[in-house]
Amino acid sequence: MSANTTVKTSDGIVEGKPVGDLITWRGIPYAAPPVGPRRLRAPQPVQPWHGVRDATEWGNASVQHKRGTMLSVGKYQPSSEDCLTLNVLAPSRPSSKPRPVMVFIHGGAYTLGTSATPLYGGGSLVRRSLRDSDGIVYVSINYRLGALGYLDLTQFSTPTRTFDSNLGLRDQVAALEWVQRNIAEFGGDPSNVTVFGESAGGNAVTTLMATPAAEGLFHRAISESSAPGLVATQDRATGWAREFVGFLGDGGNVADTLDQADVARFGRAGTKLAFSVLKNTPGLHPFGPVVDGDYLPKNPLDAYQDGSAHQVPLIIGTNGREGTLFPKFLDALPTNPARIDTLFSLTDPAAKDAVTDAYPGYPSQSTAIDIGGDFTFWKPSLEVAEAHSRRAPTFSYRFDFAPRVMKWLGLDATHGFELFAVFGINETLFGKVMTAPGGRKAFAEVTEKVQSNWLHFARTGTALPEWPAYDETARETMIFDARTRVQRDPRRDRRQAWEGYKGYASQKTEPSAT
């Protein structure tokens, strides 16, 4: 199966470009631009084109704050509502058989991020895949963010104007459908697709596994630092949408305002809503999937418990100190004692002492940060691993590696840092500078461990033999660190302290916005 820069897709011909020993195709539309009457609607089919479409430049990022589109110092990716594109990266050398496909969904709290971010380029991962197989085909996608992608505005539909729910989630499904239709033309195997993502992208993975429309579109899943519980109830989403419209200023006709407001106005109202939600319900975020009873019929955590989640092999895990990033760069978690007090008062006051007692040093700032990180990422990811392991191969990990400079910064193995291993950042100038004070050899070794396991899993649906499957008896977990090892039931005391705690799912009444 030969690789060629010119490929015929179901919508038209695209022309990519060589990148060393790889070929890249960028900015390929997988759905029609969601603009004009398609704003706030489910993704629609691409209008086929004639001739050859240039696919050598990144497509637009989704509408967001400029900082989320930074590509390098002083250089930013253009953003637009016209953003539903994806990118393909494949080896240039021929293959005798179709290659496994890995589809990456970027993170950014469903408000920031773009597939053009250099970290997500995928070159190191694809080249590593060629060492012990014919390689993989790597796909990365853009999808709608913020209020234009993850706020349920369906209550404002009129007889002449419909607004759909779960738009970003629908975009991701549309991208996976594109992969099924077209990836064979790029040398990929549509019957062996791994979807993987980090943070909001990890939440997208755990949510897609509970989305009926995604059934059969992927065959393995890797969820890195997901926050599986950050899926809104319909009632909560309805309240947030009303609050958003209040910040937007509807002028008496909400549907017309939603149609006509420019993206800057949407952004300002979304920022006000995010601050309001954090103040009133620490640990929640207004932008994300919604249990609408239709496209997403139930909370994904419930789907894992009752077995209705797609029973595909799963890698799921978190980092050693997820929370340290947030007070410094994205203050959006319950990472101080005041927010933790509010969190438990709204959810389960009786659980507070048991949980905080499991974190010696509380209420110190450092310990509060760990509680907030575990509440958001580790505890619900562990729930997914436990439930899913009863029905499908499941592999649990914790990424603990942090070079000396990360420890100096007080970040340790913080949220998102495992991506540096997944995407081989140790090989770059940035990675070498980061490890100049120490840790370069260990960084290379942990990168090799992560990439080899991710790639083996994408090929086979199982980890390498050194990594046993997770179950609720042994709870064997891979600890990626300077000395990578398997550990039984890591942080057992913390796990037991959180048992039975349901978070906001146990809240009886909604707080009033102030």
Question: Which backbone phi and psi does 342 adopt, to 5 degrees?
Answer: -65, -45
> What amino acid occupies position 209?
M
> What amino acid occupies position 306?
D
Q: Which of 224, 243, 322, 445 is catalytic?
A: 322
Place of tokens 């996976």: 176
Q: Which of 106, 285, 415, 456 is catalytic?
A: 415
Q: Are 15 and 53 in contact (CB under 8 A)?
A: yes
Buried b (16+ CB within 10 A) or exposed e, 398-412: bbbbbbeebeeeebb
Q: Which residues pair with 28 in a beta bridge?
A: 86
Tell whether omega for the bond before 190 is within 30 degrees of 0, i.e. cis: no
Total length of the chain: 514
Q: Are 447 and 441 in contact (CB under 8 A)?
A: no
Closest CA to 389 of 311, 504, 288, 452: 311
Tell whether omega for the bond before 363 is within 30 degrees of 0, i.e. cis: yes
Q: Are strands 314-319 and 220-224 parallel, antiparallel or unpaired?
A: parallel
Half-sphere exposure of 84 (CA within 13 A, CB side): 29
Nearest-5° Cα angle at 81, 243 to 28: 140
DSSP-based helix, strand, coil % in the chain, nearest 5: 40, 15, 45
Q: Which of 62, 79, 165, 199 is catalytic?
A: 199
Q: Is 415 a catalytic residue?
A: yes
Take residue 404 and report the two structure tokens written for it: 């000396």
Q: Burial-class residue 37 by CB neighbours within 10 Å (0-12, 13-18, 19+).
A: exposed
Q: Are strands 13-15 and 188-198 parallel, antiparallel or unpaired?
A: unpaired
d(CA 403, CA 411): 10
d(CA 124, CA 116): 15
Q: Are strands 394-399 and 476-480 parallel, antiparallel or unpaired?
A: parallel
Half-sphere exposure of 33 (CA within 13 A, CB side): 11
412 DSSP 8-state letter? S
Take residue 411 and report the two structure tokens written for it: 């970040």
67 DSSP 8-state letter? G
Buried b (16+ CB within 10 A) or exposed e, 324-360: bbbbeeeebbbbbbebbbbbbebbbeebbeebbebbe
Q: Is the four-CA dihedral 414, 459, 196, 183 of positive or negative sign? A: positive
Q: Which residues are catalytic?
A: 199, 322, 415
